[in-house]
Amino acid sequence: MAVNRVAVIAGGDLTDTELDLIRTGTNFIITADAGAMQLEKAGIIPDLAVGDFDTTGISYMDRLRKKGVPVLSLPEEKAVTDMHFALSCAVERKPDEILILGAMGGARFDHTMANVGLLEWLDEQGIKAVIIHRTNRIRLMSGPGKMTFTSIDFKYVSLLPVSKIVSGIRTDGLKYKLAGESLYRGDTRGISNELVKVPAVVNIQEGICLVVESRDRIGE
């Protein structure tokens, strides 16, 4: 069965692997501000571009419109970020999953943190989402819940509590096994577990945590 996947692209750098995901693995592409410029370099035309375009310059909107791209212009002073608004547009399409790219690694750490925080907002909307950037893949898990890992492309798995306590954690296929235990926000016990087999599984009973899959190098 085909997955209804929407890609939302911010202005960060994109790898060839990420560009392939956009070309072959998505049904609809939305860019936030300079995300459209990143796609243009790769010869990809978005289905919708949103933002205040303070990064690219206002004239860039006309360039997109001439290419037939629908543009939603946002004021520079607003209550949400361009990325948040773009994700709102993605949610309206009722996707099975939202793929978020170009959202990490920029000069503005506050925007990076805000983008990661939006995973919780998406979870509240009932939407699965994943942030992918070079050496990391980030998802949010809320209990009771189960997450399965089917490849070892990202061999390290870290569980970072968002709620004060994440309890009833059970793992299978990870080097350091958890058997009904708890992790606490601010503690580092859940960092850098490792996949030893696939499929591997993490279950949690209560709480909310970020699941960060990592590798030290691209193509490791």
Q: What percent of the chain stands above pLDDT 70?
A: 96
The pairing of strands 200-204 and 165-172 is antiparallel
The mean per-residue pLDDT over the stretch 172-189 comes to 96
Task: Report residue 219's pLDDT band, with 50, 70 and 90 as the boundaries.
Answer: low
Quote the pLDDT of residue 2: 59
- Does residue 103 lie in a domain region? yes
**Could you tell me if 104 and 154 lie in one domain?**
no
**Could you tell me if 106 and 91 lie in one domain?**
yes
**Could you tell me if 78 and 172 lie in one domain?**
no
Final residue before a domain boundary, out of 84, 105, 134: 134
Task: Report residue 1's pLDDT band, with 50, 70 and 90 as the boundaries.
Answer: very low
Domain hosting 188: range is 140-214
- Does residue 220 lie in a domain region? no
- Does residue 219 lie in a domain region? no
**Could you tell me if 116 and 27 lie in one domain?**
yes
**Could you tell me if 115 and 173 lie in one domain?**
no
Q: What residue type is 129 in one-letter code?
A: A
**Greatest mean pLDDT among 20-29, 107-116, 143-152:** 143-152
- Does residue 47 lie in a domain region? yes
The mean per-residue pLDDT over the stretch 115-140 comes to 95
Task: Report residue 58's pLDDT band, with 50, 70 and 90 as the boundaries.
Answer: confident
pLDDT exceeds 90 at position 149: yes
Which of these, 10, 51, 4, lies nearest to 28 by C-alpha position?
Answer: 4
Which of these, 45, 50, 47, 39, lies nearest to 14 by C-alpha position?
Answer: 39
The mean per-residue pLDDT over the stretch 120-130 comes to 95
- What are the backbone dihedrals phi and psi of residue 112, each rounded to the nearest 5 degrees, phi first? -60, -45
**Could you tell me if 111 and 151 lie in one domain?**
no
- What are the residues facing 160 on neighbouring strands? 210
**Could you tell me if 121 and 145 lie in one domain?**
no
Final residue before a domain boundary, out of 92, 109, 134: 134
